[in-house]
Amino acid sequence: MASPVLVWFRDDYRLGDNPALAAAIETGAPVICLTILENAADGLRPMGAAARWWLHGSLKALDESLRKAGSRLLLLHGPALEAIEAVISATGASAIFWNRRYAAAEIALDSTIKKRLTDRGLSVQSFNGRLLNEPWQVLNQAGKPFQVFTPYLRAVLARPVEAPRPAPRTIPGTPWSKGMTALSVDLEGLGLRPTNPDWATEFGGTWQPGERNARQRLIDFLEGSLQGYALGRDAPARDATSRLSPHFRFGEISPRQVWRAVSHLVGERPELAPDAQKLLSEVVWRDFSYQLLHVYPHLPEKSHAPRFAKFPWDNDPKNLKAWQRGRTGYPIVDAGMRQLWRTGWMHNRVRMIVASFLVKHLLTDWRHGEAWFWDTLVDADPANNAFSWQWIAGSGPDSSPFHRIFNPVTQGEKFDPKGDYVRTFVPELAGVPANFIHKPWDAPASVLKDAGVELDKTYPGPIVPHGPARERALAAFRSLRDGEYGTELDR
């Protein structure tokens, strides 16, 4: 019998449109499907707590799908090379297939593993399972990576999108030997989900990880909410966005699958084209983040614009804590931070508001915010999170200018005009009428009394006043402009 081949699943926990799995099956050899909980091994960034919660569900669902196809998931724990070499020793595997990943430490590790295994005589093949285009495929006329989104989007739209591969019905397998059984670890024993205390009690009611659920969410979204997405996506009280981000994060759905489904629908219902284009452009933002992460591997760790190295951050730990707990006294900020804590997700518009508030109103280094999001988001993504934080901070390769400082009151009034979003996540303000819900400190005493609100007792007053905080941020930024100039932001 032919020696088996390995498929190493990493953030591509699906059977459909999985090129590494498809190529392994095409060899005709028995396929062993494995994944490795690498955690902090090999310099990889440890996964945050909310993402670990998701990973548990994702791996469980993957194993179920594999079993339906006649295979099963071999779950390993520890440094990847050791784990893979142990499987090779136990099975005599002759080849390994994986889909690529793009954070610097991941690339370095994969290159090392590839070299070691190739030196041992194994065939190692990698594929694009995560993106529409590889970071090196979409280049400007000078043959360089794009630095700015709009021309990047134009270039992407001019390229064909590869058709997604169907999920295999069966996966040729091999019974597990004693050696393999000895290597496998038990998912439940890995402690990916919190128990004591279980801070994720609301996650289960909000999210269902897994490929089948990702597909269902896409179908529900396309049938129910795509119409009106372009406008509705900015209203946090409405369920108007796809909420596919954690499914994307764990590769339970591929951008090619989404592209295909959306294009197909627009073929049948051309009136949806403007909403569809907006959605697809968001999916391209995701590719763009990955492209930038690939070109600038330091994005999660360091401000890209050199002058931000000297930014006079205040970094007051009390302010950071108030922000994390949703107790800044700005209702839209607090609602967002509490949505994040309770559900592991936050609406995009509110992510922008809370991020701007932390960096600019509180003069807190964006990396503190990035780290908190990394720990608390179920969709915490190495490229999107770092890139988005630098975009808001004004320090990124393509970013919003620093002097664009969101006013949390007017943002709230514009995007949550009735205050429904605030009422959902800041229940102590539920009785405040819409005209004061985003600035309860302006409400007459009688209105607050009727609403059962006592500022600084039942709900905090503003942690910093908006006007002076804005001026302080601009002065801090000007101190950089008067000093050393970086090159990146001045284009």
Ligand X SMILES: Cc1cc2nc3c(=O)[nH]c(=O)nc-3n(C[C@H](O)[C@H](O)[C@H](O)COP(=O)(O)OP(=O)(O)OC[C@H]3O[C@@H](n4cnc5c(N)ncnc54)[C@H](O)[C@@H]3O)c2cc1C
Give the interface with ligand X as residue ranges (CB under 6 A).
Answer: 233, 241-245, 248-249, 279, 282-283, 285-286, 289, 348, 351-352, 355, 373, 377, 379-381, 384-385, 388-389, 392
Given phi > 0 = left and psi -120 to 50 = alpha, else beta, which region is 42? left
Distance CA 133, CA 180 (A): 36
Distance CA 467, CA 445 (A): 23
Shortest separation between residue 30's beta carbon and ligand X, angstroms: 35
Cα radius of gyration (the chain): 24
Question: CB-wise, 184 or 424, nearer to ligand X?
Answer: 424
Shortest separation between residue 88's beta carbon and ligand X, angstroms: 34
Question: CB-wise, 200 or 253, nearer to ligand X?
Answer: 253
Torsion of CA 34, 135, 400, 311, to 10 degrees: 80
Shortest separation between residue 188's beta carbon and ligand X, angstroms: 27
Output the six-digit token pair for 343: 């559900």
Distance CA 308, CA 292 (A): 18
Output the six-digit token pair for 389: 């934080």
Given phi > 0 = left and psi -120 to 50 = alpha, else beta, which region is 243? left
Exposed e or buried b for every residue in 35-67, given b needs 16+ CB within 10 A? Answer: bbbbeebbebbebbbbbbbbbbbbbbbbbebbe
Amino acid at 11: D
Shortest separation between residue 60's beta carbon and ligand X, angstroms: 22
Question: CB-wise, 132 or 448, nearer to ligand X?
Answer: 132
Question: CB-wise, 38 or 379, nearer to ligand X?
Answer: 379
Question: CB-wise, 36 or 377, nearer to ligand X?
Answer: 377
Exposed e or buried b for every residue in 432-448, given b needs 16+ CB within 10 A? Answer: beeebbbbbbebeeebb
Shortest separation between residue 291's beta carbon and ligand X, angstroms: 11
Residues with a catalytic annotation lie at 282, 285, 313, 348, 366, 389
Shortest separation between residue 221's beta carbon and ligand X, angstroms: 7
Question: CB-wise, 213 or 348, nearer to ligand X?
Answer: 348
Shortest separation between residue 150's beta carbon and ligand X, angstroms: 14
Shortest separation between residue 347's beta carbon and ligand X, angstroms: 6
Laid out side by side, the sheet with 95-99 consists of 73-77, 31-37, 5-9, 95-99, 123-127
Shortest separation between residue 360's beta carbon and ligand X, angstroms: 13
Distance CA 423, CA 455 (A): 16
Question: CB-wise, 207 or 373, nearer to ligand X?
Answer: 373
Question: CB-wise, 83 or 392, nearer to ligand X?
Answer: 392
Question: CB-wise, 291 or 319, nearer to ligand X?
Answer: 291
Shortest separation between residue 196's beta carbon and ligand X, angstroms: 27
* Cα dihedral sign, 35-39-40-41: negative
Question: CB-wise, 367 or 466, nearer to ligand X?
Answer: 367
